[in-house]
Amino acid sequence: MKIPHPIPYQGSKRNLAKYILPFFPPDIERLFEPFAGSAAISIAAAARGKAACFHLNDLNQPLMALWDEIINQSGRIAAEYEFLWRAQLGNERNYYDQVREDFNQTKHPDKLLYLLARCVKASVRYNANGEFNQSPDNRRLGRNPQQMADEIVAVSSLLRGKTTLTSLDYKEVLCLATPKDLVYMDPPYQGVSAGDPRYLSGVDFDEFMQELKKLNEKEVPFILSYDGRTGQKVFGRSLPETLGLYRLELETGRSTQATLLGRDDKTVEAVYLSRNLVKKLPSIFSELQPIGCSKFKEPQGISPQKSIAFPIRCSV
Q: Which of 155, 178, 206 is the last residue of a domain?
A: 155
Which range has the worst mean pLDDT, 90-94, 155-159, 228-232, 262-266?
262-266
Q: Which of 155, 181, 200 is the last residue of a domain?
A: 155
Could you give the C-alpha distances from 57 to 62, 78, 92, 107, 239, in angstroms and in order? 12, 22, 32, 17, 24
Mapped onto helix, strand or coil, the DSSP state of residue 76 is helix
Which range has the worst mean pLDDT, 67-81, 86-100, 292-306?
292-306
Could you give the C-alpha distances from 78 to 74, 95, 105, 154, 166, in angstroms and in order? 6, 19, 22, 12, 22
Does residue 2 lie within any of the structural domains?
no
Question: Rounded to an integer, what distance in angstroms lies between the CA atom of residue 211 and that of residue 101?
Answer: 37
Mapped onto helix, strand or coil, the DSSP state of residue 126 is strand
The domain in which residue 131 lies consists of: 68-155
Q: Same domain, yes or no, for 119 and 246?
A: no
pLDDT band of residue 293 (cuts 50, 70, 90) is: very low
The pLDDT tens digits for 242-253 are 999 998 887 765
Q: Same domain, yes or no, for 189 and 263?
A: yes
Question: Rounded to an integer, what distance in angstroms lies between the CA atom of residue 160 and that of residue 218?
Answer: 29
Closest C-alpha to 171, from 218, 201, 227, 214:
214
Q: What is the pLDDT of residue 12?
A: 59
H or E element that contains 64: helix 61-72
| DSSP secondary structure letters along 9-60 | -TT-STTTHHHHGGGS-TT-SEEEETT-TT-HHHHHHHHTT--SEEEEE-S-
CATH value at residue 87:
1.10.1020.10
Instruction: Please tell me the total count of domains within the chain.
Output: 2
User: CA torsion sign, 188 to 166 to 15 to 148?
Assistant: negative
Does residue 4 lie within any of the structural domains?
no
Q: Same domain, yes or no, for 46 and 82?
A: no
Does residue 151 lie within any of the structural domains?
yes
Give 311's contacts (C-beta < 8 A, 6+ positions apart): 246, 247, 248, 293, 294, 295, 296
CATH value at residue 306:
3.40.50
Q: What is the pLDDT of residue 299?
A: 45
Q: Same domain, yes or no, for 202 and 258?
A: yes
* Residue 55 near residue 166, CB atoms below 8 Å: yes
* Residue 163 near residue 50, CB atoms below 8 Å: no
Q: Same domain, yes or no, for 181 and 124?
A: no
Q: Same domain, yes or no, for 309 and 191?
A: yes
